Amino acid sequence: DGGITQSPKYLFRKEGQNVTLSCEQNLNHDAMYWYRQDPGQGLRLIYYSQIVNDFQKGDIAEGYSVSREKKESFPLTVTSAQKNPTAFYLCASSMDTANTEAFFGQGTRLTVV
């Protein structure tokens, strides 16, 4: 089955630790995205990538980092510099055209204690 997979579904980390969220897709999509969702709020774009080895900051990139070494993979690292990292993180991918929709993973709920 083609799709986009995020892991793990739930993640707990201590304050001050970096943590990496995994996102893999087998849809042969060029573009991949990371969004953050807070309770009762919409989706805010963290980073996006339109092609391997290239990515751009979204609206709330501070305290996050990404890499795009393979077309299939777009991991997100939440660093200790992120002031309020507890949130629901969503990864998405799409063809790089305006007419096509994005496909979303099931999300990772990160809790920092």
Partner 1 sequence: GNSVTQMEGPVTLSEEAFLTINCTYTATGYPSLFWYVQYPGEGLQLLLKATKADDKGSNKGFEATYRKETTSFHLEKGSVQVSDSAVYFCALRERSNDYKLSFGAGTTVTVRA
Q: Does 99 bind partner 1 (CB under 8 A)?
A: yes
Return the residue of 11, 31, 52, 61 that touches partner 1, per CB under 8 A: 31
Span 57-86, contacts to partner 1 by CB under 8 A: 58
Strands 10-13 and 108-112: parallel
Rounded Cα gap, residues 80 and 68, in angstroms? 21
Return the residue of 34, 48, 64, 74 that touches partner 1, per CB under 8 A: 48
Return the residue of 16, 42, 83, 113 that touches partner 1, per CB under 8 A: 42
Give 75: exposed, middle or buried? Use CB within 10 Å, 0-12, 13-18, 19+: middle
Q: Does 43 bind partner 1 (CB under 8 A)?
A: yes
Q: How far is the CB of 3 from partner 1 (least distance, A)?
A: 10
Q: Does 33 bind partner 1 (CB under 8 A)?
A: yes
32 half-sphere exposure, CB direction, 13 A CA radius: 31
Q: Does 41 bind partner 1 (CB under 8 A)?
A: yes
